[in-house]
Amino acid sequence: MPTDRSAGSAPTRRLTLRHRLAWLLRVNRLLGSRHEFTVRTKFAAAWPSGPDPRSINPSTIYRWEAGSSAIPHSAVRRYEELLELAPGRLVAAFDYELRANRPMIESAPALARDHQVEPRTLDRRLDAYLDRVCAPAVMTGCDWDDLTELLATRPAAYLPGRAWREIAQRLLAEMLVACGQAWLQRFEAVNRLLAHPAAQGELIDACAVAAADRDNQVMISTMAALGHSNHRDSISVLLRQLTNPTDDRALWGTLSALFEAATLKQLNPDQRRRATRTLREIAAAGGPLGSMADEILQALWTLTGPVAIGCAGRQYSLRGPVSLVAQRVAHAAAAALATAPETFTDDVFPQLVEELLFDPSEEARLEVSMLIAASPYRSGIAQALSSELRRGRTLTGDPERSGTLLSALRMVGGSPERSLIERIVLADGLPGPTVSVAAYAIGHFTPVPPASWWDSAISKHLADWHRSKSPTSLAALRGLAYSAGVTGSQTPLQRLKTDPTTPLAARAAATWWKNQPTYITTSAQL
């Protein structure tokens, strides 16, 4: 890897989808806790002891992990079982990567499931899920994965309209408040229903209602969910929000979704003309929203046909000088591995770290963070990112750089890193944007901060708000409401909701989170 790059350097090509998925299998086998499976023959010998009695040749494993042969869903699940990973950990990462890089939306998952049971058994399983959705009872991410896959492979399945409505509304509500693997599984489930002929109308309606709610605290995700849908009603919802957005967050999510729709050439000529008028006004105003509008206009009026969405395999140019940061983080993360075969080399991971930290596309950074989070590098890169944040003037300097590091850490960090985020939220003298990113991030770390920390954080930022009335102080309070909401921390939410000194926007945020049904917030954490 070069030791230095600038914005004027030659573009870098992202790793292909095939190589990303092959890498994920390979590193989980070679760097996981089952050290005996670093030998392919031993891994192959253990394969038939599961529910599938068929044996497997070591050469098949080699081809899967080299990216030269497609791997079926049953094999990804067997990797999870043999390597003692949480159910769905690898499958969810595969589904997300495959979905994010598909040229057109389809209901059935690209990682096709192979049901080795009778159709009658599948029907009974479907009925049981529907009972739990409508009861309502707790639903896990794996439950939603199974339910929506059963529906996706039955496009003509008949359900009462009320059942489709409850499925759509509940699934969207859970996705909006979920994190990590739980979010990945629900994101994939939402995309399946957005392409299902009987479900898509109800889900689009649910998104439209959520987008019109001014108190909605996850507006960007609400609108972005419509970006891959090719249904005419999805485009209509996006155009309504473009011309009359509920708020700035809704506009940001709308622009993100419209970029995907424009790239896929999903707007008809009349819709393109309507969108163009407003997009030109936004572009003329400049700023980040103006830049996004410019990109959408280019995609709208490019004469070529639909292109593949997603980030795998595309070229990108880095923003500003990169120096040794990506290389330093990658080396530190690799050094933190508990064990690795003596002959093990990994040329993929350093490039993934470079994409994670410096790719100009937010979607690309999210994609690669989900891959690394599903790999044995997760704890090591969390340590490395924490060290980078503590390094020199990182936290007191450019908030864009510290924000990028914090956003990456949010996706991979755990208990050891939580104390650093807590200190950032409480610190004086740091840039406001850095603190607000940390306030939103703390909800993604386990375990939940103690009550004393919540009290201190809320008191500090209420005092900062009343002293300065700065937007960043308000953003920190809203971030604390978000983090309390996703972790189910009711006491800090109650304080933000009832304290008369809380600014109106932060009070509305806390109220929205408090009003989420318990079965939604409980399920969304599973």
Nearest to 489 by CA among 218, 177, 183: 177
293 and 146 belong to one structural domain: yes
Q: Is the Cβ–Cβ distance between 355 and 47 less than 8 Å?
A: no
Q: What does the pLDDT average to over 348-355?
A: 92
CATH of the domain at 58: 1.10.260
Is residue 6 a contact partner of residue 320, using CB atoms and an 8 Å limit? yes
In this structure, the answer to whether residues 64 and 149 fall within a common structural domain is no
Quick check: is 309 in a domain? no
Domain count, the chain: 3
Task: Let me know if residue 352 belongs to a domain.
Answer: no
* Distance in angstroms (rounded) separating the CA atoms of residues 513 and 509: 6
**Is residue 229 pLDDT above 80, yes or no?**
yes
Determine contact, residues 367/93, Cβ cutoff 8 Å.
no
CA 331 to chain centroid: 25
Assess if residue 418 is contained within a domain: yes
For residue 200 the two structure tokens come to 């898509």
Same domain, 185 and 94: no
**Residue among 135, 228, 159 at smallest CA distance from 188:** 228
Q: Is residue 150 part of a domain?
A: yes
The mean pLDDT value for 401-405 works out to 92
Q: Do residues 96 and 195 both lie within one domain? A: no
Mean pLDDT of 352-380: 91
Measured in residues, the chain has a length of 526
296, 399: one domain: no
Q: Examine the domain organization and report whether 44 and 147 are in the same domain.
A: no
Whole-angstrom CA distances from 521 to 133, 364, 451, 485, 516 are 14, 28, 19, 8, 7
Dihedral, CA atoms, 32, 33, 39, 44, nearest 10 degrees? -90
| Dist. CA 74–CA 520, nearest whole Å | 30
pLDDT digit string (tens) for 457-510?
Answer: 999 999 999 999 989 999 999 999 999 999 999 999 999 999 999 999 999 999
Checking if the pLDDT of 16 tops 60, the result is yes
Going by pLDDT thresholds of 50, 70 and 90, the confidence category of residue 3 is very low
Q: Could you tell me the pLDDT band of residue 316, with boundaries at 50, 70 and 90?
A: very low
77-90 mean pLDDT: 96
> Which CATH number does the domain housing residue 217 bear?
1.25.40
Find out whether the peptide bond into 288 is cis, omega within 30 degrees of 0. Answer: no
Which of 301, 325, 347 terminates a domain? The answer is 301
What is the structure's pLDDT at 322? Answer: 55
Residues 237 and 250 sit within 8 Å (Cβ to Cβ):
no
CA atoms within 13 A on the CB side of 46: 16
8 Å CB contact between 164 and 198? yes
Q: Is the separation of the CB atoms in 368 and 15 below 8 Å?
A: no
- CA–CA gap between residue 192 and residue 187 (Å, rounded): 9
Residue 4 has pLDDT above 80, yes or no: no
pLDDT, position 368: 94
Q: How far is 322 from 9, CA to CA, in rounded Å?
A: 11
The per-residue pLDDT for 104 is 60
Is there a single domain that holds both residue 147 and residue 93?
no
d(CA 410, CA 397): 20
pTM above 0.95, yes or no: no
Q: Are 100 and 369 in contact (CB under 8 A)?
A: no
Which pLDDT tens digit goes with each residue over 128-178? 999 999 999 999 999 999 999 999 888 877 888 899 999 999 999 999 999
* Alpha-carbon 17 to chain mean position: 17
Residue 321 is assigned to a structural domain of this protein: no
Cα-atom radius of gyration of the chain, to the nearest Å?
23
Same-domain status, 53 and 167: no
Contact 506, 478 (CB under 8 A): yes
pLDDT band, residue 311 (cuts 50/70/90):
low
pLDDT tens per residue, range 499-521: 999 999 999 999 999 999 999 99
Distances (CA, A) of 381 to 27, 225, 328, 516: 14, 29, 11, 33
Evaluate whether residue 463 is within a structural domain.
yes
Q: Which single residue is written with the structure tokens 């230095």?
A: 4
Count the Cβ atoms, other than its own, within 10 Å of residue 7: 11
Q: What are phi and psi of 316, to 5 degrees?
A: -150, 155
Q: Which residues contact 119 (CB under 8 A, 6 or more apart)?
A: none
Q: How far apart are CA 200 and CA 317, in angstroms?
A: 37
Specify which residues 315 forms β-bridges with: 13
Model pLDDT, residue 11: 44
Same domain, 93 and 182: no
**Of 98, 46, 38, 49, which is closest to residue 72 (Cα–Cα)?**
98
Asked, for residue 494, whether it belongs to a domain, the answer is yes
Helix (H, G, I), strand (E, B) or coil at 434: helix
Domain end (from 282, 301, 320): 301
Secondary structure element (H or E) that encloses residue 12, with its range: strand 12-13
Same domain, 388 and 254: no
User: What is the rounded distance in angstroms from the CA atom of residue 474 to the CA atom of residue 477?
Assistant: 5
Mean pLDDT for the stretch of residues 105-125 = 81
Chain segment 408-455, per-residue pLDDT in tens = 999 999 999 999 999 999 999 999 999 999 999 999 998 999 999 999
For residue 152, what are the CA distances in angstroms to 175, 190, 376?
18, 11, 32
> Do 157 and 55 lie in a common domain?
no
DSSP 8-class letter at 316: E
DSSP 257-280: HHHHHHHTT-S-HHHHHHHHHHHH
* 3-state DSSP assignment of residue 241: helix
Rounded Cα–Cα distance for residues 57 and 61 (Å)? 7
Question: Which domain, by its residues, includes 89?
Answer: 17-101
Question: Residue 353 — very low, low, confident or very high, per pLDDT cuts 50/70/90?
Answer: very high
Residues near 347 by beta carbon (within 8 Å), at least 6 away in sequence: none
Residue 337, in any domain of the structure: no
Give the orientation angle of helix 432-441 with respect to helix 415-426, to 10 degrees: 140
Mark whether 501 and 438 lie in a shared domain: yes
